Structure 1
Amino acid sequence: MDSKTKSLVKIVAIVILAAVLAYATLYGLQIAGYKVIPIKKAIKLGLDLRGGVSVLLEAKPKPGEKINDEKMSGAENVIRGRIDQLGVTEPVIVRQGDTRILVELPGVKDSQRALEIIGKTASLQFISSDNEVILTGDNVRDAKAVYGEQNQPMVSLKLDSEGAKKFAKATEKYFDQPIAIMLDEQVISAPTVKAVITTGEAVITNMQSIENAAELAALIRAGALPVDLEQRQVMTVGPTLGADSLNKSLKA
């Protein structure tokens, strides 16, 4: 084989190898038990690559309230718990300065719903007819969306031992009277006590849908924010722009 033929064979081999590598990079390849993952799956797709929403939250102190590191760390943990309930993969949650938290949620389609869930204070209280605070969200051990006997959506609550004792006493004291269930100082349900409840369980009714019940249950499970947060900046990246960014990065 002369030198020209050898050179031609090498060039053809290089071209074939490059084509195989390019195909494996873009679409994946499996040979004899070895698997090459496509680059689109291997890359951790962030906000700029698959779309989503970014929001900068800032603590808003109440009159006389001081914002400290403990409250901001608590807020960060609550937000992380809520995002876990949303099922968002690879979120970004970082503190910025002393009073701000940046949240990025790649791949989120319903950005408005996500922002509402993240930023809601979710302070839960059970209030008697004479304005006595019977229970708070701290007394709730678990919450889940269920259907009632009439197939109506509701939130089922399981109380801790302290909450169960308080609720038993309250349902005895306020028998045949309403107990208001309030979320962020708004009444969401006000059932009339018809029995003394000693099981440590309660329900929240008047849910518009099972999806609304599931969202409320998720908020209760994650806990209330220790400080009010307001949106300082919101940016939404559409999936088309995200996909275009990914394609450009692969071609670069």
Structure 2
Amino acid sequence: MKWNRVVLFFLLTLLIFLLMGFTFQPILNGVTLGLDLKGGFEILYELQPTEGTKVTGDLLSQTKDVLERRISVLGVAEPDISIEYPDRIRIQLAGVTNQEEARKILATEAHLTFRDMSGKVLMTGADLKEGGAGVGFDNLGKPLVTLKLKDAGKFEKITKDYLGQQIGIYLDENLLQAPWVESVIPGGEATITGQESVQAAQELAGLLNAGALPVKLKEISSTSVSATLGQMALQQAIFAGLISVIFIFLFLILFYRIPG
């Protein structure tokens, strides 16, 4: 009778371990892993206001809001963005592999302007409707960025005044394109062509929808954690947990001298 109870005890113990093995991975898949386990990088920015202006709490909050919207372009589900007074913002991005691309999306000021050939600003990103930038394709299937403007009449007048001339479309001081105005354009819609890929078009549209940064950012420091190191740390933690459970079972067996 005693041996039957011993066998039953070990069978139950084995069953518990099997259940742990089958249920652990699904549970783990549902857990959002942090930077230390999933890998990624952390970056610290310092706000660089223009001469004569100061960094305020409102400016920090506005900058943080823009950065949060931009991070959605990177596909990071739960970024960690924290304000460090008086003038810094720390960002932790788990799972990001292309750090240079992330830096470009985060730190680009993203001031959109339409200018004539003399440099006169005709329109800015403030003329875009909220969420008005999207991705489309031309007749040849090449990706482009579509723009929906708040004031259709304003854009129509600009195309009328500059008919037969070029209008430069700039992101900060980078010329994206300088199309010739071949006809008056009603309807308040424009396009930015010349995108190298769908991803490039999506990133530009995402930047425009997120809005321009209200202040320049200076990178102070950055730290990266490889996914390999994070996975190793996770595996070590799991192994340590299993060893702990085994020792607890062995302790119970020895302490109670096997049930019965």
Q: Describe the superposition over 1:81-122 as per-residue Cα deviations: whole angstroms up to 9, x where unpaired.
A: 111122212211111122111111111121211121111110
User: 1:155 and 1:88 mapped to 2: Cα distance?
Assistant: 22
Q: Is the 8 A contact 1:72 1:227 kept in 2?
A: no
TM-score, normalising length: structure 2:
0.84
Question: Is 1:159 the equivalent of 2:149?
Answer: yes
Residue 17 of structure 1: how far off its partner (Å): 4.1
- Number of the residue aligned with 2:6: 8
TM-score, normalising length: structure 1:
0.87
Give the SS at the match of 2:50: coil
Q: Describe the superposition over 1:126-154 as per-residue Cα deviations: whole angstroms up to 9, x where unpaired.
A: 11234332111111121122221233332
User: 2:145 and 2:181 mapped to 1: Cα distance?
Assistant: 17
Residue 7 of structure 1: how far off its partner (Å): 5.2
Q: Is the 8 A contact 1:167 1:197 kept in 2?
A: yes
Residue 25 of structure 1: how far off its partner (Å): 4.2
Among 15, 18, 29, which residue is 2:16 paired with?
18
- Number of the residue aligned with 1:217: 205
Give the SS at the match of 1:73: helix
Q: Is the 8 A contact 1:122 1:220 kept in 2?
A: yes
User: 2:207 and 2:117 mapped to 1: Cα distance?
Assistant: 25
Q: How does 1:116-135 map to 2 (within 5 A)?
A: 116-135=104-123
Q: Is the 8 A contact 1:156 1:202 kept in 2?
A: yes
User: 1:196 and 1:249 mapped to 2: Cα distance?
Assistant: 65
Q: Is the 8 A contact 1:52 1:109 kept in 2?
A: yes
Residues paired across the two proteins, number: 238
Higher Rg of the two aligned structures: 2
User: 1:126 and 1:64 mapped to 2: Cα distance?
Assistant: 27
AA aligned opposite 2:135: A
Q: Which runs of 5+ in 1 are unaligned?
A: 28-37
Q: Describe the superposition over 1:70-90 as per-residue Cα deviations: whole angstroms up to 9, x where unpaired.
A: 221111111111111222122
Question: Is 1:143 the equivalent of 2:143?
Answer: no
User: 2:141 and 2:10 mapped to 1: Cα distance?
Assistant: 69
User: 2:23 and 2:197 mapped to 1: Cα distance?
Assistant: 45
- Number of the residue aligned with 2:32: 44
Q: Describe the superposition over 1:194-226 as per-residue Cα deviations: whole angstroms up to 9, x where unpaired.
A: 111121001112222332222111100111111
Superposition RMSD in Å: 1.9
- Number of the residue aligned with 1:33: none
Q: Which runs of 5+ in 2 are unaligned?
A: 241-260
